[in-house]
Every structure is written in C-alpha cells, then in structure tokens.
Amino acid sequence: MLRAVADTHAVIWYIFGDHRLSPAAQRFIEEAASNGDQIAFSSITLAEMVYLSEKGRIAPFALNRLLEAVEQEESVLVEVPFDHQIALALREIPRHQVPDLPDRMIGATALHLGLPIITRDRRIQVAGLPAIW
C-alpha cells in the first residue's frame, strides 16, 4: 500500500541517510517499510536528480543509488509515472502558491493519489496539501 509521496529532496536525503530529513519523516518512512508499505515518488524526481547532478548540487551517482534502491525486492520507494490524470490534478495546485513546476507535479501526484506529501517545502505545505515533516 502506498502511504505518502516524497518530494525530491526527501528521497535524496532518505537514500543517503542525510540528517536533513526530519525525524518525523524518517520515522514515517521506516514505519511504512516495516509494515511492507511503500513511499511513492514522482517520475519528475528522476529528471530533477539529473538536473541537480549536472549543476553539482548532488552527487553524480545519486540517481543510480535511487534506481538501485528501487530495484530491491522489498524497496520502500516506488516510482509513480506522471500521466494525464496527474496533469489534470495540477489545476488544483495554485501556481501562485507553488510556482515551481516539479514541485507542482509532485504535489499533484500526492493529490491525485489522495496521499500526504513528505516535504519541508513551505510553499507546498501552505498550498493546503497534507504534509509530513
């Protein structure tokens, strides 16, 4: 069962064991894993990771680490492809509140699936999406 959708930074911090992932988010992901549930991430996260790597903001092997983690048989992380239904859900996330397109796509994924979003991004949080941080 899917329990939440993780924002790109939450995915990166989780796979690297980074202390910037909040204790509440870490516990939520660990509980999902221990229950056999999963945390979704939008396919836009993969593109964002390539972009961030090209800019030198994350390690060049970060994307490979995520893909390796997802390929594990009991991975807590699972990709949710961006599709037309999620594109339609973009309309429900005001651009003036969440101006960054990747953030809106991730938010729309959570909205479409009826799940909370794991994010520290205040703009997403104030847009009315249930957030875990």
Count up the domains in the chain and report the number: 1
- Domain harbouring 26, CATH code: 3.40.50.1010
Q: What residues make up the domain containing 112?
A: 2-132
Mean pLDDT of 109-121: 96
* pLDDT band of 115, cuts 50, 70, 90: very high
Q: Which helix (H) or strand (E) holds 78?
A: strand 77-80
- What are 31-69's pLDDT values in tens digits? 999 999 999 999 999 999 999 999 999 999 999 999 999
pLDDT value at residue 126: 77
CB 40 within 8 A of CB 80: yes
Taking only the tens place, the pLDDT of each residue in 82-93 is: 999 999 999 999
Q: What is the pTM of this model?
A: 0.94
